[in-house]
Amino acid sequence: MRALITGASSGIGYQVGKKLALEGHLVYMTCRSVREVFHLRKKLEKEGVHAICFKMDLTSDDINIVDHLDIDCLFNHAGCGTAGSILSMDENSLRDIYEVNLFRSFLLLKKVYQHMVDKKITGKIFVTSSLASMYPFPFLGVYTSSKAAISQLVKTLQRESRVFGNSVCFCLVEPGAYATGFNQAMIDKVELYQELNDKFLSIHNYQRKLFSLLESRNIDKIANKIVKEMVKEKPKKILRIPWVQGIFLKIHAFFFL
């Protein structure tokens, strides 16, 4: 298999890339900045893993690199997030989230998809959304709405692929909360955009505690499950991991949201 992974500098993207490479697959691992690429290469070298690493900022012309790659699997994992109400968030932050998570991410997907169709490749495209996409968390609406759009688009593509009749399949990955540091960094940014009154601070502190309680530290487990689906001829359409977080969030939404 020849796989391209975006957002591979750390966390789930890194673990998936490392496991694929250790299994003998050709893996392209990308990061948003040159500095991240440098640290990624050092980390892989230290662990004895061979993968091809390079910068791919989805908001730049880097995206055109895929025109020169012959791949049969895409893990569209890159994403960003910030917290705060859309009513107070500045336009640049809002635009960056939707550019990275949605517009440019799906432009990359389209490019890879067209390559697979043109080359008659039996391809697989995995796209990362989030379990949080299903719930209206206060002050996380911009991030979760971008993820909700991803989920709906991938589900739609799965149905459309039956009409197109080609050999490209789509898999939606909806992870729960994992201890990668992403959630805390996102939640802490809310203070840039909100007035720090008592009611807001109580919600902010509650969400920090909620994510700390929910977060799974077993990143290997989700990476193993994703890799297991990637090497299948027909992967599952939706991966929601861990399932227990999905149940918890449904109960939480019923009583508290």
SS (H, E, C) the chain: CEEEECCCCCHHHHHHHHHHHHCCCEEEEEECCHHHHHHHHHHHHHCCCCCEEEECCCCCHHHHHHHHCCCCEEEECCCCCCCCCCCCCCHHHHHHHHHHHHHHHHHHHHHHHHHHHHCCCCCEEEEECCHHHHCCCCCCHHHHHHHHHHHHHHHHHHHHHHHHCCCCEEEEEEECCECCCHHHHHHHHHHHCCCCCHHHHHHHHHHHHHHHHHCECCHHHHHHHHHHHHCCCCCCCEEEECHHHHHHHHHHHHHHC
- The whole-angstrom separation of Cα 19 and Cα 220 is 9
Tokens of 247: 């149940």
Q: Is the preceding peptide bond at 136 cis, omega within 30 degrees of 0?
A: no
- The whole-angstrom separation of Cα 53 and Cα 58 is 15
SS3 27: strand
- The whole-angstrom separation of Cα 214 and Cα 210 is 6
Q: Give the pTM.
A: 0.88
Q: Which residues contact 199 (CB under 8 A, 6 or more apart)?
A: none
pLDDT value, residue 10: 92
pLDDT value, residue 90: 85
From first to last of its 257 residues, the chain has per-residue pLDDT tens of 999 999 999 999 999 999 999 999 999 999 999 999 999 999 999 999 999 999 999 999 999 999 999 999 999 999 988 877 888 888 888 899 999 999 999 999 999 999 999 999 999 999 999 988 888 888 888 999 999 999 999 999 999 998 988 889 999 999 987 666 665 556 666 655 556 566 666 766 766 676 666 667 788 999 999 999 999 999 999 998 876 666 666 665 655 55
- The whole-angstrom separation of Cα 54 and Cα 196 is 40
pLDDT value, residue 213: 66
- The whole-angstrom separation of Cα 121 and Cα 20 is 19
First-residue to last-residue Cα distance in the chain = 43
